[in-house]
Structure formats: C-alpha cells, structure tokens
Amino acid sequence: MPAPSPGAVITRRGPYQCQAIIRRKGYDTQTKTFEFYAERSEAELADAPWELVGELVRSQVRSQLGVRGVTSGTTPDIARQLAAWLQGLGAESIQVVYDYGADFGFVEELQKHVAASVWSMLVPIHVGYLLEDVDGAEAADAEWARIGVERGLHRHHALADARALRARFHAVHRE
C-alpha cells in the first residue's frame, strides 16, 4: 500500500507531542512538531460504564490513565481543545492515521461536541495493513519498550500506541 497522499500526516512524537509532516505537490516535505494529548477527567471516567467493556480495557487501558502533567477535561472540553489545536496547524487537510477503528471513533465522538470547520479538514486513513509487517512490528515493540522506560506507559495507552504506530509507519515506509 502506498504512503498517504499530499496533505498533513499527524503522528505522536516525544512527550505529549505530535509531529505534522506536510506534503504539498511541488514543495519540499515540511515537518513540524506540535503538542497535544488529553485525557477525560477523573469525574467523567468515574461515570464511564467500565462494567460494559472487556477485561483488556479494564486491566490495561483504565489502569494507565491519570498520567501526571496531562491536560484533562470533559469530553466537550477536550473537543474544544483539539479543534483549536488542529486549527492552529494551518493545514488545508489533516490526515488522521489510525490502525484500530475505535481510535478514530473517539475523534468522531469529539466532533459531536463542538461545531468547528476544522472537522471537515480531517481525512481518516486506516493503516491496519501495517500490523502485518515484521519490520513494523519490531519498530512498534522497540517504541513500546522505550516509552515504558521513559514515561512508564505501555501498550494500549493511547500515547504509547500512537508513538508505536508512528514508529511502525516509518519502519514500513522507510521514512
């Protein structure tokens, strides 16, 4: 499968950072790192129907929430923050790369809370094919190990998984 087309590819990089790789026909690729990571507030998480989710989510996802120094808020708060952050990128289109449907589902949920023109700029790119690549898997494992040591985050934490997906993408596409 070819690399994503011209536009902006947003990937996680560094503690609470995102990197925009902007490709425009006739121009050199531009790379800029931005920062955005937020979690739902403790009050909102306490009201979540944890009994309806699987054991994996309860044991490996919920247990990793509450990272110190992270912006937290209600879903509408996060939606407003994300919309403002995306608007600040100044891109005409923004490719949102994901490997698991529920990950983009949360972005879709956020869109319901804020009427913002930025949402129409989002281009979802499912890259599940990356999961089958051996080099990509090794890169993801190395990133999970690194962020585990660096931040105490592990597989199934959104930030750790985003960084692993970025490493996987670059390993597969040799970028």
Query: What pLDDT is stored for residue 160 in this prediction?
Result: 86
- How far is the C-alpha of 20 from the C-alpha of 69, rounded, in Å? 23
DSSP secondary structure, 137-167, as one string: HHHHHHHHHHHHHHHS--TTSHHHHHHHHHH
Q: Is 7 left (phi over 0), alpha (psi -120 to 50) or beta?
A: left
**Mean pLDDT, consecutive 10-residue segments, the chain of 175 residues?**
56 55 70 66 68 61 63 84 83 85 85 86 89 92 92 83 89 82
- Start-to-end CA span in the chain (Å): 14
Residue closest to 111 by CA, chosen among 92, 91, 129, 96: 96
Two structure tokens written together for 107: 């972005």
Domains of the chain are 7-173 (3.30.420)
Query: What pLDDT is stored for residue 49 in this prediction?
Result: 63
Neighbours of 57 (CB within 10 A): 15
Cα→Cα distances 23→9, 26, 65, 112, 130, Å: 8, 9, 34, 29, 21
Cα→Cα distances 22→5, 96, 104, 114, 174, Å: 10, 12, 20, 25, 17
